[in-house]
Structure 1
Amino acid sequence: MSPPALFWFRQDLRLADNPGLDSLGDRPALLVHVLDDSAAREHALGGAQRWWLHCSLAALDAALRARGSALHLARGDATRIIPKLADEIGAEEVIAGRLYEPWARRRDEAVAHTLEKAGRKLVLHTHSLLHEPHRLRTGAGRPYSVYTPFSRAIFALGEPHPPIPAPKRLTPVAHPPRGESLDALGLLPPGPDWWRGFSASWTPGETGAAERMEAFGKCAIDRYEEDRNTPRIEGTSRLSPHLRFGEISPRQAWHAAREAGLKGEAGFLKELIWREFSYHTLWHRPELPEQPLRAEYARFPWMASRPALRAWQRGLTGYPIVDAGMRQLWRTGWMHNRVRMVAASFLVKHLLQPWQQGEAWFWDTLVDGDLASNAANWQWVAGSGADAAPYFRVFNPVLQGRKFDAGGAYVRRWVPELAKLPDRHIHSPWEAPAEVLSRAGVTLGRDYPRPIIGHAEGRARALAAHAALRAEEAAA
């Protein structure tokens, strides 16, 4: 019989299209997941992600048991746990999907070093991206810093390999060591059970991911370009948390979109490539989550304010489209993509709060919190990142609401205190006449806040801050 192996599940919580798992063949293997908060430190899983992971691990274990194996759970320092488990079962190889976060790369180096000293090896496969970031270079041999040529380069590589079927059976090791129970990992966030409502919106796990992809491929993808910016309807794929935890691979999503053959396919594939671009940026610029990629933005004159940040977090800015998004985030662990841009722009431009504050809040409250995408998108909005939005692009939250939530259905759902306002005033209640507010049962400042800052004032202040930064840079 072949010597046993250890397979380390990480951001690939699925059986299908899992090259590392497929490489096991009929070898006996211990299938392991380690909750290692110490390695990530400040980027340890946020509360919403911990809920998702709890549910996803339960689903994965059930799928493994149906194939004759089970999931071994552990908690602690993976640099000690993984080599120890490999030694206990006599594994020659530890197999895993490659990770790209700076802390994960350092951890893998440490694990590989320890294994090597014991005559074992760490074998990494591509599990969570279409292509390895270090293999994509410009014609000058440099990493890409602009999305459009990066996208062209991805398309020029041709179609990704077809997905690999899930193994029909897996062989466990003869005497597996005892692991932790799922509850013992303590993943479910303590305190208020704000996460209990998540299950009404999501089905974590590989089956849930497949169902979501199938539903999107049958219906929404045909109108993807038209509907993706309309928050009141399900016009997006909502695959982001499934991709983040690897319950579906980008290869599977790519080929499913191709097979659907509908007109929204190209737009959806470009979104997958934007995700790849974020990882490409993180790989080559590991400071992405903490430091602005454009060095001059380290001197940006932010006006950090705890009350302003708190009003934004709670959905009490006085701008209905922003507040609706922030409340949707709190209730469901997710926010519509268009509203994410509006809410993020409002925080960093109208309120001049450091983008890192918004990034941290999203990290804790998003079920799809993904270090590369979260950091890259916040830096894009702030103007400090790769291929960033121009500094003078300041979303007008009233006009954005009127354009993308014309009838106010999205705002009425998430900001119910404004539900009785007519369409004309739903996105700017402070402009409504007193009698209109009275009929709607709204007293501004009591039932719903007045705007925390006027749009014209916020925009002027943001442009002045950027002008001051540019003047300082010119004088340097």
Structure 2
Amino acid sequence: MRDHPALLAAVDEGAVIPVYILDDDAPGAWRIGGAQRWWLHHSLARLGEALAEKGSRLILRRGDALGQLRSLMHETGAARIHASTQYEPWWRRVDTALGDALHLHEGNHLCRVEDVRTGSGAPFRIYSSFWKALQAHLPPPRPLPAPDAIPAPGQWPTTETLSDWALLPTTPDWSTGFDADWTPGEAEAQRKVEALGALLSGYDVQRNLPAEDGTTRLSPHLHFGEVSARSVWHATDRHADATGFRKELAWRDFTDGVVMALPDYATVNGRSRYDDLPWRTGRAAKGDLQAWQRGRTGYPIVDAGMRQLWHSGWMHNRVRMITASFLVKHLLIDWREGERWFWDCLVDADYGNNAVNWQWVAGTGVDANMFGRIMAPLGQSEKFAAGDYIRRWVPELADLPDPAIHDPEAAGCRPGDYPAKIIGHREARERALAAAATLR
């Protein structure tokens, strides 16, 4: 409700019909995953309550977004559609088809992504250059207040029922960890924004320590529009050491610019030379992929991250990089397999972020690590003091002391119920480099 330019523009014109359409067809293979559906259910419930407090209500429709919007305009006599800009390619196609009836507003980014361009007028593909150019558009506008009231139409259109959408898991209900870790909705997002000050003083160091509570955990709230990026930006105005955090916030704008320029970036290598990389396939590779998904690789930091993901729908940022690198480099499995798993399991799964981050780790992207830079998960675990993080998520190792817990197999104290390493680090590194050498 706060800082929602589309909503305020609609209120200025008269009666407003707030609508959410669940369209699983337009995205095709990228329909939202199970973890996002859990979040969406609770987020829509909170939004409906907030709208009711303003004298309004939330209309729910399911199906083709374009057809549903046209039908609603015909049913109600609505003259205009106000919405926030989205950059996923399927929504951009819907926007184009709606034509002049649609008025878009920038509500989820620091500025219009289209406005941050290279000297030749193209979107940036290198983040450091993007960040430098973004400075000309900063600070973002101050956030806008929520409307005092929302004028209602004389007659409401029909609505579907949220419970009928069956967004929540039932058989089995794998979301019990989600319930313990997350509270979707604008109120919780605002609480986290107000708590930013306590995190920023040590953010650049603490955010890399998996065992510490040093990250904001705002990502799903930002993804679902429960808080705006510019509201978060201005909440850090009084903190002199906010630059590192603000760069992370701006990364979201950058990744949307990448997928605006390269709509197929989630499925196509940013560097075509990697199209011929000999990824492992077949039964052995499938078994390794399943071991990675289940947190049974024999590398404690990797297994802790994958189990955290399954239990809570989220993973610490540093561990996301470690687990992704392990899949691509150690197991030599196509980055797209990991991207799809994250898409289904993350509550903050985002088309642009997911694609750009995976291609960055894999080395296949337009702005990416070199493929030959292979993270050493055991060294990363010790460097970033992940002992207590491992103890929480891999209980088989809970009684092991530091530093044995980072590599219990080498320390000679691997418990019998914890798997041996799926592959040795040196062996995996040599295999990955040999695969990359075939491209030269």
| Percent of residue pairs bearing the same amino acid type | 50
Letter in 2 for 1:454: G
For 2:351, which of 356, 365, 371 is the aligned residue? 371
Q: Which residue of 2 aligns with 1:317?
A: 297
- Match for 2:279 among 289, 302, 323? 302
SS at match of 1:226: helix
Q: Which residue of 2 aligns with 1:254?
A: 233
Alignment match, 1:42: 29
- Give the whole-Å Cα distance in 1 for the aligned partners of 2:240 and 2:395: 36
How many angstroms does 1:143 deviate by? 2.1
Quick one: distance in 2 between partners of 1:241 and 1:396?
A: 29
2:5 alignment partner in structure 1: 19
Q: Please, which of 130, 133, 147 is the counterpart of residue 153 of structure 1? A: 133
Residue of structure 2 equivalent to 1:461: 431
Whether the aligned pair in 2 keeps the contact of 1:127 and 1:249 (CA below 8 Å) is: yes
Instruction: Write the deviation string for residues 148-197 of structure 1: whole angstroms up to 9, x where unpaired.
Output: 11101112322110000011110111110120111012211343211122
Map Cα deviations across residues 301-339 of structure 1 (whole Å, 9 max, x no partner).
100321011000000000000000000001110000000
In the TM superposition, what whole-angstrom CA distance separates every residue of 1:403-461 from its partner, at most 9, and x where no partner exists? Answer: 1125x10000000001111212101111123xx45xxxx22xxx010000000011111
Structure 1 counterpart of 2:189, from 194, 201, 209? 209
Contact 2:197 2:236 survives alignment (8 Å): no
CA distance in 2, matches of 1:327, 1:405: 18
Task: Choose from 337, 341, 352 the match for 1:357.
Answer: 337
Contact kept? 1:221, 1:262, Cα under 8 Å:
no
Aligned to 1:124, the other structure's residue is in SS state strand
Structure 2 residue matching 1:402: 3-state secondary structure: helix
Matched-pair contact (CA < 8 Å) for 1:102–1:286: yes
Q: CA RMSD in A?
A: 1.2
Residue 235 of structure 2 aligns to a residue whose secondary structure is helix
- Answering whether residue 389 of structure 2 is matched by residue 410 of structure 1, we say yes
Q: Confirm or deny: 8 A CA contact 2:339 2:354 kept in the other structure.
A: yes
**Paired residue for 1:65, among 31, 52, 55?**
52
Equivalent-residue separation in structure 2 for 1:131 and 1:404 (angstroms): 34
Q: Name the structure 2 match of 1:386.
A: 366
TM-score calculated relative to the size of structure 1 = 0.90
Number of positions where the alignment pairs a residue of Structure 1 with one of Structure 2: 436
* Matches of 1:137 and 1:199, distance apart in 2: 41
Deviation at 1:25, TM superposition (A): 2.9
The residue correspondences of 1:32-431 to structure 2 (distance < 5 A) are 32-112=19-99, 121-215=101-195, 217-259=196-238, 261-263=239-241, 265-304=242-281, 305-405=285-385, 408-431=387-410
The aligned counterpart of 1:11 is: none
**Aligned equivalents of 2:198, 2:330: Cα separation in 1:** 37
Deviations 1:212-244 (A, max 9, x none): 1112x2311111011010011110111100011
Opposite residue 468 of structure 1, the aligned amino acid is: T
Shift of 1:353: 0.5
Rounded to whole Å, the distance in 2 between the matches of 1:24 and 1:79 is: 19
> In structure 2, what residue type is equivalent to 1:156?
A
Report the alpha carbon displacement of residue 24 of structure 1 after superposing the two structures with TM.
2.1
Deviation at 1:262, TM superposition (A): 4.5
1:127 Cα deviation (Å)? 1.4
Query: What is the SS of the residue equivalent to 1:96?
Result: strand
Q: Is the Cα contact below 8 Å between 2:111 and 2:137 reproduced in 1?
A: no
What is the TM-score with the length of structure 2 in the denominator? 0.97
Give the distance between the partners of 1:123 and 1:202, measured in 2 at CA: 33
In 2: Cα distance, 1:70 partner to 1:155 partner:
39
* Corresponding residue SS for 2:25: helix
